[in-house]
Chain A
Amino acid sequence: MPTVAVPELGTFAAWRDAARGCLAVAVPPEDILWQYGDAAGDLFAEAPVAPPTGTVTVPRAFVELAQNVVWHSDPERFARLYALLWQAKDRPGLMSDRGDAGLAKLREMEKSVTRDKHKMKAFLRFREIDATGPRRRFAAWFEPSHHITEPLAPFFARRFGDMDWIIATPDRTAIFMDGDLSFAAGQPKPPLPEDATEALWSTYFRNIFNPARLKIKAMQAEMPKKYWKNMPEAAAIPEMIATAEARARQMQLAAPTLAPARAGKITERLRMTDDTPAATDLDALQREAAGCTRCPLYSDATQVVMGEGPRDAPLMVVGEQPGDQEDLAGRPFVGPAGQLFDRIAGEVGLDRDAAFVTNAVKHFKFQARGKRRIHQKPDAGEVTACRWWLEAERNLIKPRLILAMGATAAASVTGRGQGIMKRRGTFEETEDGTQVLLTLHPSYLLRVPNEQARQAATRDFRADLEQAVHWLADHAA
């Protein structure tokens, strides 16, 4: 019976090579005796044979499994892995079968190794030791359950690249010096000098704990007691637990104290309203609107989005409401519909910067769906509530022409939102006699699914904007 000795260092590569060789010449699992390191072998075993080499392809999932399981402390691990490899060559789907009973044991071993690795990354503690060169030196003692020091050492090298360190464990010592990683035999716990930072760490540990939320089981599930002896902060745990309840009760029972004298003054100063005189009327309007609660939309939206443009703009463009992007940026017409408007306006010579651009409703109405916000049409109540702000803007700007885009704008400006498709391209009047040109909302052009219909709608929209340009030219002040 061939005996394969897998070395304690480079275990994975050695096992992989041996397994590959054995598989290539079809040595069945029951014919191999796997040994770890120089452990005493089977008395009846033949002298170890150099395994034949060969190449075989194995599923990736198997390699991932083996990369962890070879470090397990169970002496049977190599044989179990080889047995699985033997099986897998005839059962292609085996590795992706998460219910296979034969695989369950190996999966369990894999889990045990990954958990052990994770805990070593987490609970290992370095102490500073005397430096011999320019780099600071640290040392740690850790007692893992499996042979994980070798596979984990590169993690520590990536993390603590600018310092020298030694990680000693009972079965392996990892040494990182001047950027070179090497290994030595295991050792008993070395004496490590006191490190003053441990007291600070323990202070932190004690104070970040909330005694009103004592959950001892939850702590121990993640940080079992076996790790405590090598963690400087763990010494404080028994006392923290013992006094927690009393501390929490004391907080509950303590009568409220009088606020310190300075508190009243600070609060008073802070709560004074900061009504600074308006730079222009539009700024004042913007400030006033920021606190608007005339309808419930304010609580879901980010901010009120008021119109922008010159105070003496001859044209006022009214859309429906801010969208996702406008809501975030706090400016009207910056999202996809706004960009489309800008493009077509530019084509017909309508200067957006010379117009006052605003919306009928100043807060974004939407429905939250997963990671997205789906636009929702504002209802009549919301449009009415917000008309107050649109009117205020209109009174300040006093535009000669209003371009109302879409049904909501039409409803707000003319009082009627129906039949926008028939009314578009025509002029109407507001109550006070201001001319209103009706058109489609640019977001409609983005939504029309049918290519032909979209082209037609875009043509109509462009014609309407052109009409606005001509009207303004004809009615220049």
Chain B
Amino acid sequence: MARLDLSEKLAILSDAAKYDASCASSGTSRRDSRKGDGLGSSEGSGICHAYAPDGRCISLLKILLTNFCIYDCAYCVNRVSSNVKRARFSVDEVVTLTLEFYRRNYIEGLFLSSGIVKSPDETMGEMVEIARKLRQEHRFRGYIHLKTIPDADPLLIEQAGLYADRLSINVELPTDASVKSYAPEKRPETIRKAMADVRLRKEAGAERSHTGKRPPKFAPAGQSTQMIVGADGSNDATILRQSTRLYSSYKLKRVYYSAFSPIPDATAKLPLIRPPLEREHRLYQADWLLRFYGFDLAEITGATTDGNLDLQIDPKLAWALQNRHLFPVDVNRADRETLLRVPGLGVKTVNRILTTRRHRTLRYEDLTRMGASLKKARAFITLQGWTPGALTDSADLRARFAPPPEQLSLF
């Protein structure tokens, strides 16, 4: 095999990394290099340095250390049985790429993942070495996200957490049965155990010792995971149930949903359809309702007919349409919990309503200036200058929001 140059390796190993949805670089500890003794800063919220034509943010240099892999996961472009071109970065190549990209303001940092080569420990060891070099030798203060290999030595994971801002382990598919059939070498119980370890270490890192000294911070931006949507037959209720379990069990910062999309040299095992992007979007909306809007899993899945979210309207609207007896809500009187359940009102808008309400009574026109989407909200609210009348209970309310059915084309 001809030796690949850096650019060829980068092409192969970024192409291989694009199926990981996460590119977040926010929520880590604050630090900077103003004193001139290093490079980089992180100030709370991450920055999207570019957007690709797939609409996704590019915040981090997202690459694999190598796309050689001994596993045979059906959905993965890097599986052992695929004929894609293989490449492997050296530790220094990754370090240099990260620093040079960072210096030119292309990225917030590095998201490093890897195929599993001969030994998980060796691969994980090299990933940790990259993070260590960046942090210690180059005093890099940007963001580092390491995808951890569940089977690796817990000691390596512990070191990874000392250098990285975020650790992640992908659960890959929503049920154990799916993992077993599509990723036969992966063991769901090992993945769970690894996530539990990260949570325990993170919690141990937050406790002061008896001398009052804080141990070094462990993965300050927490851990996250990813589930592939649409590769197996799981419905949205199953997927969301799994997310709820993961959030509560391992204190995950995020569960990413990744619509399964055709990959080069795919196996015959999987449907190569258009990726279900709309479904992915609805799942994220439902995930937000569960985490920030006080919704229960049962409330969201209860508004579905077959356990799948309505693709035409968002899950909050779907819930509201089924619970019209709770509406209209008086915007000037309702409490926070109730306001959060009104379609068209987001967390920010609700906060603005509450602060402004302390001073005066709100009128309908105020809501536009507060960021409400009145097209959605108007059927569900009442306040000075507006009452929905029969609109709330009108039979064609859903049709006002759902796009008209597409005419089936014969050809």
* Chain A contacts to B: CB under 8 angstroms: 93, 96-101, 104, 107, 118, 121-128, 136, 138, 140, 155, 157-163, 178-179, 195, 197-201, 203-219, 222-223, 231, 233, 237, 240-241, 244, 248, 251-252, 254, 256-260, 262-263, 266-267, 270-271, 290-291, 298-303, 327-330, 366, 368-373
Contacts and interface: CB of A to CB of B under 8 A. Distances in A.
B266 A256 contact: yes
A121 B297 CA distance: 38
Contacts of A198: 104
Given A138-B104, A201-B104, A270-B185, A256 B54 contact: no
B54 A98 contact: no
Contact of A215 (B53, B197, B369): B53
Nearest to A179: B36
Contacts of B267: 256
B23 to A, nearest CB: 9
A161 B39 contact: yes
Contact of A203 (B10, B37, B58): B10
A189 B181 CA distance: 58
B47 A122 contact: yes
Contact of B80 (A178, A263, A291): A263
B103 interface: yes
Contacts of B369: 98-101, 104, 107
Contacts of A200: 6-7, 10, 97, 100-101
A97 B53 contact: no
Contact of A210 (B49, B54, B274, B366): B54
Nearest to A178: B36
Nearest to A198: B104
B120 to A, nearest CB: 12
A159 B247 contact: no
A130 to B, nearest CB: 15
Given A208-B62, A213-B261, A252-B272, A96 B355 contact: yes
B104 A215 contact: no
Contacts of A204: 10, 14, 61, 63, 101
Contacts of B133: none
A241 B54 CA distance: 9
Contacts of B18: 207-210
B52 interface: yes
Contacts of A122: 47-50
Contacts of B135: none
A443 to B, nearest CB: 19
Given A161-B33, A162-B36, A290 B189 contact: yes
Contact of A241 (B51, B53, B248, B356): B53
Given A215-B54, A302-B192, A368 B244 contact: yes
A219 B39 contact: no
B62 A252 contact: no
14 contacts: A96-B358, A99-B367, A99-B369, A128-B104, A158-B34, A161-B37, A203-B14, A209-B18, A210-B52, A218-B56, A248-B261, A266-B80, A299-B175, A327-B249
Interface residues of B, number: 100
Nearest to A258: B83
Interface in B331-361: 352-353, 355-356, 358-360
A136 B100 CA distance: 11
B185 A372 contact: no
Nearest to B184: A271
A258 B265 CA distance: 10
Interface string B68-80: 0011100000001
Give the residue among B19, B53, B355 with the most A Cβ atoms within 10 A. B53
Given A205-B52, A213-B261, 11 more contacts: A96-B355, A98-B369, A158-B34, A200-B100, A210-B19, A211-B54, A213-B277, A218-B55, A256-B267, A298-B189, A301-B192
A178 B35 CA distance: 10
B311 interface: no
Contacts of B363: 99
A217 B50 CA distance: 14
Interface string B83-125: 1000000000000010011011110000000000000000000
